[in-house]
């Protein structure tokens, strides 16, 4: 079995082997005469240089990645108050990816510059590639825009790892911030993938920008006879007994008075959006159970009012009665026909 320390050091063996191979090629070039017609001296020396540069760049990239990964692991976002940890973790994740790309580009550039032929070709192409550079720049604009957006997010941090956000009408948490895309874990375990530039160009909701605590709303549609004061007392008691309530907000208000019912809204606070969702569902259910047991008359009902008149009653021939209560049954032919005198 390989221990954890050896497992972490194991990838360093590849740059070491690459450096040894480069050193071997450089040493071999010294054994080949410079006047060799096949050019083995020059190719062995150039290949050795390229391998040495790649080995150094690879080793630096691994060491940088290890240091940043260790810093990310120390940022514990599983605690309740994790705002500082999420800020630091987001910044380090973006920096880790950008550092890997930059080190790769620098290593490749230095490796090519170590070959005289490649250096001359590169300089000539660079000097005569004005139009091609413009075309490549236009083609690479989305890539560069996402890279710049990643740096902006790392500095300004409109979003962070594990932030609760609402994007395109979908609610979820920031799961990963990559070089070009952001992966959002939705509440039903789906994944929403958006480009980095989206968060710099479009409005979105961030429920945990300053802290994770949030206020949730609960609605009930009830009859006008609902006992409001008793409901407020019961809601307060339910909040105090619930472990997910953070003790900040617990109010009940009448927000709408319609023709046949009233609408009540309760505001309750919790430490995080998942806790707020569970708290809202529990309080809604507890209030419905309490109303059914203690105040069933407060449940919404549909009222129908009808008036019935017997023939000869006063008001049977009212104009409003004649206008509003039309007879729809066909008249009896026997009653409608004139009767003969006996």
**Residue 312's pLDDT band (boundaries 50, 70, 90)?**
low
Higher-pLDDT residue of 159 and 133 is 159
**Residue 207's pLDDT band (boundaries 50, 70, 90)?**
confident
d(CA 255, CA 272): 25
Residues 6+ apart with CB under 8 A from 186: 170, 171, 172, 192
Residue 310 has pLDDT above 80, yes or no: no
Q: Which is it for the CA torsion 7, 12, 18, 19, positive or negative?
A: negative
Lowest mean pLDDT among 118-132, 209-223, 322-336: 322-336
Beta bridge partners of residue 194, listed in sequence order: 182
Q: CA torsion, points 287, 288, 291, 296, in degrees to nearest 10?
A: 170
pLDDT of 37 reads 44
- Arithmetic mean of pLDDT, 216-220: 93
pLDDT of 336 reads 41
Of 44-48, 143-147, 200-204, where does the model show the most confidence? 200-204
- Arithmetic mean of pLDDT, 167-193: 89
pLDDT of 119 reads 67
d(CA 246, CA 67): 37
**Residue 42's pLDDT band (boundaries 50, 70, 90)?**
low
- Arithmetic mean of pLDDT, 19-28: 78
Residue 266: exposed, middle, or buried by beta-carbon count in 10 A (0-12, 13-18, 19+)?
buried
Residues 6+ apart with CB under 8 A from 283: 218, 235, 238, 239, 242, 266, 268
Higher-pLDDT residue of 214 and 251 is 251
pLDDT of 286 reads 95
Cβ–Cβ < 8 Å for 219, 254 = no
Higher-pLDDT residue of 93 and 4 is 93
Distances (CA, A) of 6 to 1, 13, 267: 10, 11, 54
Q: What backbone torsions phi and psi does residue 330 show, to the nearest 5 degrees?
A: -65, 145
> Hey, what are 227's tokens?
């006992």
CA-based nearest residue to 110, from 93, 94, 99, 122: 122
**Residue 242's pLDDT band (boundaries 50, 70, 90)?**
very high
Whether this prediction's pTM lies above 0.85 is answered by no
User: Which H or E run contains 255?
Assistant: strand 245-257
Higher-pLDDT residue of 303 and 37 is 303
Residue the block writes with tokens 């692991």: 73
pLDDT of 308 reads 66
pLDDT of 230 reads 94
Residues 6+ apart with CB under 8 A from 149: 195, 196, 197, 199, 200
Cβ–Cβ < 8 Å for 44, 28 = yes
Whole-number average pLDDT of the chain: 78
- Arithmetic mean of pLDDT, 242-247: 92
């Amino acid at each position: 079995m390989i221990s954890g320390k050896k497992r972490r050091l194991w990838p360093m063996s590849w740059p070491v082997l690459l450096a040894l191979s480069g050193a071997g090629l450089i040493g071999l070039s010294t054994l080949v005469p410079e006047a060799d017609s096949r050019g083995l001296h020059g190719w062995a020396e150039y290949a050795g240089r390229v391998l040495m540069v790649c080995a150094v760049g690879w080793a630096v990239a691994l060491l940088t990645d290890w240091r940043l990964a260790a810093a990310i692991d120390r940022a514990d976002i599983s605690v309740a108050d994790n705002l500082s940890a999420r800020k630091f973790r987001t910044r380090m994740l973006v920096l880790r990816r950008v550092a890997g790309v930059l080190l790769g580009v620098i290593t490749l550039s230095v490796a090519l510059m170590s070959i005289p032929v490649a250096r001359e070709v590169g300089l000539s192409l660079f000097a005569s590639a004005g139009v091609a550079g413009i075309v490549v720049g236009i083609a690479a604009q989305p890539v560069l825009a996402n890279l710049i957006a990643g740096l902006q997010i790392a500095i300004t941090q409109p979003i962070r790892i594990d932030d609760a956000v609402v994007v395109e009408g979908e609610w979820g948490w920031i799961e990963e911030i990559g070089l070009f895309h952001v992966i959002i874990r939705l509440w039903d375990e789906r994944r929403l993938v958006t480009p980095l530039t989206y968060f710099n160009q479009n409005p979105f909701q961030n429920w945990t920008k300053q802290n994770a605590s949030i206020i949730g709303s609960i609605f009930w549609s009830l009859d006008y006879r609902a006992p409001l004061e008793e409901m407020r007392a019961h809601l307060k008691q339910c909040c105090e007994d619930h472990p997910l309530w953070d003790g900040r907000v617990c109010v009940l208000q009448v927000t709408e008075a319609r023709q046949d019912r009233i609408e009540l809204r309760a505001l309750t606070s919790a430490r995080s959006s998942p806790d707020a969702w569970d708290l809202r569902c529990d309080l809604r259910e507890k209030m419905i159970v309490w109303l059914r047991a203690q105040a069933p008359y407060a449940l919404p009902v549909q009222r129908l009012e009808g008036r019935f008149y017997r023939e000869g009653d006063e008001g049977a021939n009212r104009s409003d009665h004649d206008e509003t209560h039309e007879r729809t049954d066909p008249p009896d032919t026997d009653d409608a026909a004139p009767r003969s005198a006996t």
